[in-house]
Structure 1
Amino acid sequence: MGSARKAGETNTALGAVILEAGRSHAALARKVNELAALQSVITRYDKASVTRWLQGMTPRDRAPEFIAAALADFLGRPIAPVDLGFPEQQQRPVVARALTYCEDVGETLHTLAELGSTDISRRSLLGATPFVATALMDPQRQWLLWLLEDDQAPRLAAVADGGPAEQVQAMIEMFDEMDNRFGGGGVRASIVHYLSTQLAPMLQQRNLPAHQRRPLYTAAAKMAATAGWCSYDTADYGLAERYMIQALRLCAEGGDRVLGGQILAGMSHLATSLGNPAEGVSLARAGIATAKSSGSPLGLMRLHAMAARGYAALGNTRQATASLHAAGKSLDASRGPVEESPWVRFLDHHYLEAEAALVHRDLGEATPAERLANASVEANSDRRRRQAISRSVLATAYLQQDRLDEAVDAATNALDQLSGVHSERSVQALRDFRARLAPHRGEPIVRDFELRARPVLGAAA
């Protein structure tokens, strides 16, 4: 823990950690800017900025969080701003607790209820919930230990018929439908409110019969994971991480390995998308270990696809290709949705096409990326978020083949698709494409697109 430092004093704690990391001031500044951009915060720090921090200046707003996250990434261990000599920021205790996979599930329920209540009120929470990649390590380890120790857990758990879990399942289906049609932003507040004011208190009742408790924990885990996905969709990445961690703990109490694998898939997606693909691969592999014993080929398919996404972001073509092949084999092994857990029945070959298109895009393999993105666009006419993302991937595939007019046309269609959809994931996919347009910004068609896109995507960096 860093010692207290008066304003203007040389920041020796920061200097020591930078020295330990062995990175230049310019490299640290670049990493801070990258991490901030991933959370939709524009910073323009350089090596002179780092010098000022070392001389005692405390950067404004969320910068100390991003500096700590950058150094944590370099060193592979958790680091807090206070460890770097920055003033300790006032945080609600729940923000820290929600990053913990608690052994006491009662504490998990209390944390979820408080997190949801604070989230809904929005009082001072959002500015104090950074995404912390290293915080995903312990939940992953705790889950794998549970997996090894709990031989009694059902391999392919079914949603209970009757009882409170059936009511919760009906709510889950309604929320999923709204999420798919309009994006997570349109339904997130309702999910969080139901989770924290109805579902968590339901599980805290002492007179709940034992045969109803386990399926209810599973349903609550799914609801918490959905809150995480919807937070991800609104760019509340720190909240998404916290809901997913709590969901994984509830899932262990429910004992559903299929759902556990899917929660790990969500964590993997989040980590890879926020610039931590090595952790994304690790989480996907933990999910694969879970899904292999679950009797769910579709669940396994998705996890292999997430591993492929991580490997592609790392530039590991061989492993990414092998993971896509494994995903295809798992898909072929499935006997159809009716033979699968309700948690994975939405997965099919169209899902794999969309994910594979992203993998090929990141590997620079434009021809298969174009083919698969086109197939995803055609197959998802009623899912506007997926349409928008796949059209953005298609635009990049065209651009990688120097087909600028077609690229901009596809991106414009993606932009139109976003009307009425509250999905930061779709927006980020288009921002990725716009960034790739930088070498062509002198072209009139590109200038026109950037002008039209600015109200939705914000100003280009």
Structure 2
Amino acid sequence: MTRTRNEQLASLLGEAGWSRAQSASAFNRAAAEGRSPDDPGSPLIGRSHVSMWVGGTRPSGSAPAVLALALSRRLKRVVTVAELGFGAPGPAPLGPPADALTVLADLGRADLHPDRRNLLAGIVYSTAVLAAPSGDRQPSSAGPAPQPAERVSNHLRVAQGDVATVRELTLAFSAVDQRRGGGHGRTALVQYLHTDVRDLLHGRYAHERVRREMESAAAELAYLSGWMAFDSGENPLAQRYFVLALQLAGQAQDHPLGGHILRAMAHQALDLGHFANALTLAEASVQDRRYTGATPRERALLGVVHARALAAAGRTRSAVKALLRAENDLADADAGVPEPHRTFFFGEASLAHETARTLEVLGDRKGAIREFGRSVRTRGAAFRRTHAVTLGHLGAAQMADGRVEESCVTWGGLLDSMEEGIQSGRAEAAVVQVRRLLSPLRHRGIPSVTAVAERANKHLSKLH
């Protein structure tokens, strides 16, 4: 078959001043950013791949989006997949923010499409976005919040009761996520966000206050969709929803919610090993009205992730101070103070879990084991997913401390939780870690090791 030379791509590579080998190197650097350090990802490309693409071969999977990201950085402007001559099957690469409603429409269509795997293969996790997230602006430094592009309203009149309904359903979806994991109910959430909530955002408002409250409620729902995608291991998709949520929160001028979304993005960046970016996000989450306008419980949640990011950046003293401040903030939380839906779950168990993660980074293994244990003891039955994740971390810390029998008991509890039907990529990763850490001990004939390893293998075999 005769292929037509891709003149659009050739022109862009010429504008970038890249040889085929330089193009391949830039592509490989961009592709590596969206992967966990433990994930080998797709194989690297070489200059021959670039030559074939210029010659008319169409790359598969996320390759067009990765190349668009690399060229965007080189040319200091947004380069879309369509400009590469490959077509644009899914959401465009992240760049300057479009109208939030346009982003919501495009993202929802791709996420709900029967061929979503191929459509979403074209998006990548972008550290460029982490360096300067847009949307939630502080009025003291950046003027008023960005306004959406002019749009045609529908005939739907939006009232305070509509806002309350969105918030009630957000709370219900969040409860399912905490109990069963991000793999349960996210499609229904996205469907509701893409249809009903998008219609409400297009509606007619009697008061500006109601419009802002609806944008805030939609932002929280978009955040939850991102968090559930993150829990399911769909990191590029999660980042898209977080950015959308941040944009809606900025339009609503809901600064504490903006801080909460930045906190979630920092958490994700930490888990993926992007420590410098995580600290940038975490520090932004505790600045100005994002922190001062929040409730004590919210401040504790922001602060403990900030502490973990400081620890990952090697700033030990600052991390310890941030931990103490988070503990004090949670101690100041009053049960009688109404809390946003996003923080209803944050209490002693959550604080202990994140404190343990921070102490691990600081090299205090025994302190981490103590705090993970406190989290396990105080975690309620309504939070089975996070309980399972904590058990995974506790068992790994016990194993690193030479407590083989204790770790096997702990991991037995993790596997018990998984058998209850939890669908969570993070919890599944904990089971994979169990198998990896126990593998060197299988030949020693330790009954508890053999039993737990066999259970882990059996569980993982059901997934494939």
Shorter-chain TM-score: what band?
A: 0.7 to 0.9
Q: Which residue of 1 aligns with 2:391?
A: 391
- Whether 1:406 and 2:409 are equivalent positions in the alignment is no
CA 1:342/1:12 → structure 2, altered by over 3 Å: closer, same or farther? Answer: closer
- Whether 1:115 and 2:107 are equivalent positions in the alignment is yes
Identify which range, 258-267 or 206-215, moves more after superposition: 206-215
1:452 to 438, 442, 455: 455
Aligned residues: 429
In the TM superposition, what are the counterparts of 1:12-411 in structure 2 within 5 Å?
13=19, 15-16=21-22, 36=35, 42-43=41-42, 61-62=60-61, 64=63, 89-92=86-89, 95-96=91-92, 100-102=96-98, 107-123=99-115, 124-140=118-134, 142-146=135-139, 148-149=141-142, 162-206=160-204, 209-289=207-287, 290-336=289-335, 338=337, 340-382=339-381, 383-411=383-411
Task: Return 5+ residue gaps in structure 2 as ranges.
Answer: 1-6, 12-16, 147-157
**What is the rounded CA distance, in whole Å, between the counterparts of 1:430 and 1:66 in structure 2?**
31
Q: Deviations over 1:314-372 (max 9, x none)?
A: 45433432322222232233334625444423322221101111222333322111111
Aligned partner of 2:122: which letter?
Answer: A
Aligned partner of 2:97: which letter?
Answer: Y
Q: Counterpart of 1:334 in 2: which secondary structure?
A: coil
Q: By how many angstroms is 1:276 displaced?
A: 1.0
**What is the rounded CA distance, in whole Å, between the counterparts of 1:441 and 1:88 in structure 2?**
53
**What is the rounded CA distance, in whole Å, between the counterparts of 2:182 and 2:398 in structure 1?**
29
Q: Deviations over 1:50-69 (max 9, x none)?
A: 58768879997557479769
Q: Deviations over 1:94-123 (max 9, x none)?
A: x12666434xxxx21122023112211142
Aligned partner of 2:111: which letter?
Answer: D
Q: Counterpart of 1:128 in 2: which secondary structure?
A: coil
CA 1:246/1:374 → structure 2, altered by over 3 Å: closer, same or farther? Answer: same
Contact 1:126 1:236 in 2 (8 A): no
Q: By how many angstroms is 1:208 displaced?
A: 5.1
Q: By how many angstroms is 1:452 displaced?
A: 3.0
Q: Deviations over 1:106-143 (max 9, x none)?
A: x2112202311221114232212221121233324x53
Q: Deviations over 1:9-56 (max 9, x none)?
A: xx964533688x8xxx9xx79x967954569675566xxx75876887
Q: Which residue of 2 aligns with 1:157?
A: none
Aligned partner of 2:343: which letter?
Answer: V
Q: Counterpart of 1:394 in 2: which secondary structure?
A: helix
Q: Deviations over 1:356-410 (max 9, x none)?
A: 1122233332211111111111222411111111111110121121112222331
Contact 1:258 1:291 in 2 (8 A): yes
| RMSD over aligned Cα atoms | 4.1
Contact 2:136 2:251 in 1 (8 A): no
Q: By how many angstroms is 1:265 displaced?
A: 1.0
TM-score (norm. length: structure 2): 0.78
Aligned partner of 2:408: which letter?
Answer: V
CA 1:317/1:182 → structure 2, altered by over 3 Å: closer, same or farther? Answer: same
CA 1:392/1:207 → structure 2, altered by over 3 Å: closer, same or farther? Answer: closer
**What is the rounded CA distance, in whole Å, between the counterparts of 1:121 and 1:291 in structure 2?**
35
CA 1:207/1:355 → structure 2, altered by over 3 Å: closer, same or farther? Answer: closer
Contact 1:163 1:212 in 2 (8 A): no
Contact 1:97 1:111 in 2 (8 A): no
CA 1:423/1:146 → structure 2, altered by over 3 Å: closer, same or farther? Answer: farther
**What is the rounded CA distance, in whole Å, between the counterparts of 2:68 and 2:360 in structure 1?**
27
Q: Deviations over 1:75-104 (max 9, x none)?
A: 9x999898xxx97644346x12666434xx
**What is the rounded CA distance, in whole Å, between the counterparts of 1:66 and 1:439 in structure 2?**
40
Q: Which residue of 2 aligns with 1:156?
A: none
Q: Which residue of 1 aligns with 2:151?
A: none
CA 1:211/1:307 → structure 2, altered by over 3 Å: closer, same or farther? Answer: closer
Q: Counterpart of 1:227 in 2: which secondary structure?
A: helix
Q: Counterpart of 2:183 in 1: which secondary structure?
A: helix
Contact 1:261 1:287 in 2 (8 A): yes
TM-score (norm. length: structure 1): 0.78
Q: By how many angstroms is 1:308 displaced?
A: 2.3
**What is the rounded CA distance, in whole Å, between the counterparts of 2:264 and 2:371 in structure 1?**
22
Q: Which residue of 2 aligns with 1:418?
A: 418
**What is the rounded CA distance, in whole Å, between the counterparts of 2:131 and 2:97 in structure 1?**
10
Q: Counterpart of 2:337 in 1: which secondary structure?
A: helix
Aligned partner of 1:323: which letter?
Answer: A
**What is the rounded CA distance, in whole Å, between the counterparts of 1:272 and 1:195 in structure 2?**
28
Contact 1:353 1:375 in 2 (8 A): yes
**What is the rounded CA distance, in whole Å, between the counterparts of 2:315 and 2:65 in structure 1?**
27
Task: Return 5+ residue gaps in structure 1 as ranges.
Answer: 154-159
Aligned partner of 1:91: which letter?
Answer: A
Aligned partner of 1:16: which letter?
Answer: Q
Q: By how many angstroms is 1:161 displaced?
A: 9.5
Q: Counterpart of 1:243 in 2: which secondary structure?
A: helix
Q: Counterpart of 2:325 in 1: which secondary structure?
A: helix
CA 1:429/1:309 → structure 2, altered by over 3 Å: closer, same or farther? Answer: farther
Q: Counterpart of 2:240 in 1: which secondary structure?
A: helix
Q: Counterpart of 2:233 in 1: which secondary structure?
A: coil
Q: By how many angstroms is 1:197 displaced?
A: 0.4
Contact 2:205 2:211 in 1 (8 A): no
Aligned partner of 2:250: which letter?
Answer: A
Contact 1:113 1:195 in 2 (8 A): no
Aligned partner of 2:88: which letter?
Answer: Q
CA 1:166/1:145 → structure 2, altered by over 3 Å: closer, same or farther? Answer: closer
